[in-house]
Amino acid sequence: MEDLFKLDEQYSQEELLIRETVRRFVDDKVTPLMEQAYEAGEFPTSLITDVAALGLLGMTLPAQYGGSEASYISYGLACQELERGDSGLRSFVSVQNSLCMYPIFQFGSDQQKDNFLKKMARAELIGCFGLTEPDSGSDPASMKTTAKKVEGGWQLNGSKLWITNATIADLAIVWARTDNGVRGFIVEKDFQGFSSNEIKHKLSLRASVTGELVFENCFVPDANLLPGSDIGLKAPLSCLSEARYGIAWGAIGAAMACYELTLDYAKTRKQFAKPIASFQLIQADFADMLTEITKAQCLNLQLGKLKQTDSASPVMISLAKRNACREAIKIARQARNILGANGISLEYHVIRHMNNLESVLTYEGTDNIHTLVLGKHITGINAFE
Ligand SMILES: Cc1cc2nc3c(=O)[nH]c(=O)nc-3n(C[C@H](O)[C@H](O)[C@H](O)COP(=O)(O)OP(=O)(O)OC[C@H]3O[C@@H](n4cnc5c(N)ncnc54)[C@H](O)[C@@H]3O)c2cc1C
């Protein structure tokens, strides 16, 4: 779409190349699949090897671990382009990168890094991340899943709900309460006492696998405890910060798709013998959409620069995630309205983006939670409880 503020001049050649490569992949291979995948309620798993081949798994990690050593802006641009296709595919990539490979890289032993990361970068192993539980969502400190120390390992009991990739994952990064606080574990799919079930009948993120993880006296060997996760909840929260960074870019990708699709439509759709794009009220919608997309892109770019030098704070990331999700869903709803009746058809893609964004607004910290993060930062007063 139009680059009114010449942001492209701010990106490196490599970043632009990555964006164009992912954009072409999405236009050629992703978008054409999504209508059918969404209707069927199936994640197109054929795309997994494609995203691995493009180097999008472990993008910012060192080559030693199968990573692409790309900049955080490149990662953000990849998320933006993937979500132009569908939030489900971007969610898959976010989970593998930020919620699974990142904690192994950040908190794992050398052995764990060697065992898992290269295979995850090649998509030979798929991960999922279990933090949310049936009774513990916005308040992860209330988690009930326990890990009890036993000889040679740990015994896990409890369950995790609303977990992306749950039933296609080869391993789960699971957060459980121990006598010494919350710790992270790598639970492999064939461990005894571990099972997963898919959640059906979703009307959002239909082309993404979401499910439940169940632990019934599940034995996890000592070798699968993440040794660096001895900082309690700070460990999973740092993973969420990584993922929220990608979501800030991704949600705007969905908004860009809605804007582009609808602009073409409005220029050709005629009512009252004129293209609907000629009406002032419709133009006002487009003016709002372009303004909010551009503002969010500027914010993401600056956030990416800060992230690259490790100076992006969780508050900055909360602000960007909250802004991107709020504005993207507003833009999707405006676009849906401009399409009239066609707006509710999957053929026009916008309703799919709009419904997907309902999940993106909720996961990785709801709008309310990010509002409270900002409120606490601004006032110094914690209003969570
Ligand atoms: C499609 C999908 C995929 C997901 N994937 C994953 C995953 O891979 N891994 C994972 O661990 N989780 C995942 N989640 C879970 C997600 O992170 C949680 O749904 C989210 O954190 C919110 O928790 P909750 O649904 O329990 O809502 P609740 O925490 O029960 O919140 C319900 C409402 O109350 C509001 N609320 C709660 N506390 C406060 C407060 N203090 N002040 C004001 N308002 C408040 C919330 O903002 C929300 O509007 C996924 C969710 C979805 C929908």
Distance separating alpha carbons of residues 30 and 23, to the nearest angstrom: 10
Does the annotation mark 364 as catalytic? yes
> Structure tokens of 111?
């052995």
> Structure tokens of 20?
């164009």
What does each of the 385 residues of the chain score in pLDDT, given as a tens digit?
999 999 999 999 999 999 999 999 999 999 999 999 999 999 999 999 999 999 999 999 999 999 999 999 999 999 999 999 999 999 999 999 999 999 999 999 999 999 999 999 999 999 999 999 999 999 999 999 999 999 999 999 999 999 999 999 999 999 999 999 999 999 999 999 999 999 999 999 999 999 999 999 999 999 999 999 999 999 999 999 999 999 999 999 999 999 999 999 999 999 999 999 999 999 999 999 999 999 999 999 999 999 999 999 999 999 999 999 999 999 999 999 999 999 999 999 999 999 999 999 999 999 999 999 999 999 999 999 8
Closest atom of ligand 1 relative to the 202 alpha carbon: 1
With residue 293 as reference, give the H or E element that holds it: helix 280-308
Residue whose CA is at the smallest distance from ligand 1 atom 31: 138
Distance separating alpha carbons of residues 360 and 83, to the nearest angstrom: 11
Q: What's the DSSP call for residue 57?
A: T
Strand pairing report for 194-198 and 210-221: antiparallel
> Structure tokens of 141?
């400190």
137 CA to middle of ligand 1, Å? Answer: 5
Output the ligand 1 site: residues, CB below 6 A: 95, 129-132, 137-138, 162-164, 205, 210, 359, 362-364, 366, 368-369, 372, 384
Quick check: 157 and 216 in contact, CB under 8 A?
Answer: yes
Distance separating alpha carbons of residues 22 and 12, to the nearest angstrom: 16
384 CA to middle of ligand 1, Å? Answer: 14
Q: Which of 54, 107, 63 is nearest to 82 (CA)?
A: 54
138 CA to middle of ligand 1, Å? Answer: 5
